[in-house]
């Protein structure tokens, strides 16, 4: 189990783009479960949408990707020498709006992992109901400098 400080030790994201608050479960190179507490203070609610705040779907997918990034990053001792970039995002489905006060359970499982390329399946749940899902591929790229 990791708190937000432990997550920041693994992935480079920071406010306002860090979208994972806690890691609840972890199986090396297999699966991971994270949590995101959605509050009205999120920067995107100022414009999405005034009077009816809804978390943008792309931010839910980013939260899933960051959770998956924590999973993959732990497989590399030298992870701080790399950045993880999206390659593809497929089969994206949004099923229910996510609003302030919701807690998103972010579940990712490894579909394929070879060298520095991985493919994950991610599902996001609120109160046990599926709100979004996607499959995504990422690649580790050596940092400049």
Strand 31-37 versus strand 22-27 pairing type: antiparallel
Q: Among residues 13, 43, 48, 80, which one is catalytic? A: 48
Q: Token pair of 109, please?
A: 């499982």
The burial of 59, by beta-carbon neighbours within 10 Å (0-12 exposed, 13-18 middle, 19 or more buried), is given as buried
Q: Token pair of 52, please?
A: 């009816």
Q: Token pair of 5, please?
A: 């400080």
Q: Cβ distance 65 to 86 under 8 Å?
A: yes
Residue 45: DSSP 8-state: G
Q: Token pair of 18, please?
A: 């860090």
Rounded Cα–Cα distance for residues 31 and 137 (Å): 15
Instruction: Respond yes or no: is residue 80 known to be catalytic.
Output: no
Q: Give catalytic residues, as residue numbers.
A: 48
């Amino acid at each position: 189990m990791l708190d937000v400080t432990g997550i920041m030790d693994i992935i480079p994201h920071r406010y306002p783009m860090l979208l994972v608050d806690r890691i609840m479960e972890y199986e090396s190179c297999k699966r991971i479960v994270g949590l995101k507490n959605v509050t009205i203070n999120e920067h995107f609610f100022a414009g999405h949408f005034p009077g009816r705040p809804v978390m943008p779907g792309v931010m839910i997918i980013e939260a899933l990707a960051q959770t998956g990034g924590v999973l993959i990053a732990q497989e590399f001792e030298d992870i701080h020498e790399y950045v993880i970039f999206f390659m593809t995002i497929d089969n994206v489905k949004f099923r229910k709006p996510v609003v302030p006060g919701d807690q998103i359970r972010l579940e990712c499982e490894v579909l394929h992992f070879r060298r520095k390329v991985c493919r994950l399946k991610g599902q996001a749940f609120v109160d046990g109901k599926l709100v979004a899902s996607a499959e995504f591929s990422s690649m580790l790229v050596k940092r400049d400098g």
